[in-house]
Structure 1
């Protein structure tokens, strides 16, 4: 049997919402400034998002160039990273997105990486190195 509804705003959810509002007021009173250069929190969130994404991109590109620099030299490493096609960029973004959104996605992507590494090891080491070198040198020569 359903309970008769009482006055609006007197249920448990209304009491919980009121408690959350009071707690929020204690943590961030109205007279406190918003952290960031703008008084608008949405603008500050946008600014922080842009900074985090650009910082991550700079770090990722530097790491990729650094890993390739030992084998191919500074200029070739730069060319390899910069000559990546749009399809390669979108594919790596999509795979990273799948891997970071869920545990099953991470398992699938991780399993694929392990399978690729085992396949490369199965082929002769020299053949795998030659095939990889060919692909990267071809990418470095594109302009």
Structure 2
């Protein structure tokens, strides 16, 4: 016997967005939220938006860090002049650091050690760094 309150599918009839207890109903499993009815398309859109946003933030921070000493034009040239090998290495190190606590400890430790080493060899490191950035800036002009 079917109650008068229940439709054929067995669910209670209530106001839209409300559960029988009066609380907001949980979304149904077959409802898709996003610009597309296809969940895979929505995931791709979200992924592209997040990666694009992260790239913009990364470039802004890189320019800000380099721009303090070199000015915005030279900073942009240096960033543009980076090699593919350097970009891939930096991306791989960031992924290792983000995926696990031990990875973050290792990568962070290496960066701290490199910073301390560079500070101990400040004059020579400054000269080498200037030469490298000038070379990268020359590559970024073309």
Query: What TM-score do the two structures reach when normalised by structure 2?
Result: 0.76
* Runs of 4+ in structure 1 over 4 Å off: none
Per the alignment, residue 68 of structure 1 pairs with 66
Per the alignment, residue 132 of structure 2 pairs with 135
Following TM superposition, by how much is the alpha carbon of 1:113 offset from its aligned partner in structure 2, in angstroms? 0.3
Per the alignment, residue 87 of structure 1 pairs with 85
Q: Which runs of 5+ in 1 are unaligned?
A: 1-25
Following TM superposition, by how much is the alpha carbon of 1:51 offset from its aligned partner in structure 2, in angstroms? 0.2
CA RMSD of aligned residues (A): 1.5
Bigger proportion of residues as helix: 1
Following TM superposition, by how much is the alpha carbon of 1:101 offset from its aligned partner in structure 2, in angstroms? 1.0
Per the alignment, residue 46 of structure 1 pairs with 44
Q: Give the total of aligned pairs.
A: 116
Equivalent-residue separation in structure 2 for 1:69 and 1:93 (angstroms): 21
Q: What are the superposed Cα offsets for residues 13-32 of structure 1, whole Å, 9 maximum, x if unpaired? A: xxxxxxxxxxxxx6322574
Please say if 1:58 is aligned against 2:56: yes
